[in-house]
Amino acid sequence: MTDYCESMVSDKFPLQDIQFVLLDMDGTLLDKYFDDFFWEHLVPEKYAEKHSMTFGRAKDELMEKYKVHEGTLNWTDLDFWSRELNLDIPALKEQIKHLIEVHPHVEDFLKMLKRSKKKIFLVTNAHYKSIDLKFKKTEIGKYFDTVLSSFDTGYPKESLKFWSTAEKRLGFDKQKRSSSMTQKKFSGQQSVTESSISSIKRGPIQR
């Protein structure tokens, strides 16, 4: 399968010319069902219980609260939401960690990159507690040379300041060819987005 993966990627990218590979996590390497279920079902359920209200009303209130902080560091800050909602958000995530799943072919892809001696960076908005939980469940952390979170830079990935900081912290040259996967899930049947670092488009926010 790894050989198939290498052949498939090589057909779409000049792999021999790519030195740095920047990967998103949720929705790209990992299935987003875990996060969607957590924020749209489990948190409203616990919030409703705490405040003695219906699930529907709780979800409506939470959607409004989420929207206020979208695109900021608070959006993915588990400690912020624990304080804001008076719920132990990391502990609730632990309860459903069995729902965390890696997309098909992801490990073959990562193994191929390691074998090809590429520098593999995870660049994510996810909070470090979310990253730790997902790495423990999936064991994909071993494939990355460096993990850079928005909490390391002080800026969400939607900010150009994140990318200027990332360039300095990770040591890549945006003038050289790089491959970024930020918007589409990886699978054997689906192509990925290639771009220079200077033209990376907005991707899904991770939590």
Q: Is 132 a catalytic residue?
A: no
Helix segments in 32-147, DSSP class H: 33-37, 43-51, 55-69, 78-85, 89-95, 106-115, 128-138
Distance, CA of 100 to CA of 115 (rounded, Å)? 26
Of 3, 11, 17, 108, which one is the catalytic site residue?
17
Distance, CA of 199 to CA of 196 (rounded, Å)? 6
C-alpha distances in Å from residue 2, one per residue of 18, 47, 69, 107: 18, 44, 40, 9
Question: Coil, strand or helix: which one is 109?
Answer: helix
**Under 8 Å between Cβ of 137 and 93:** no
Residues known to be catalytic: 17
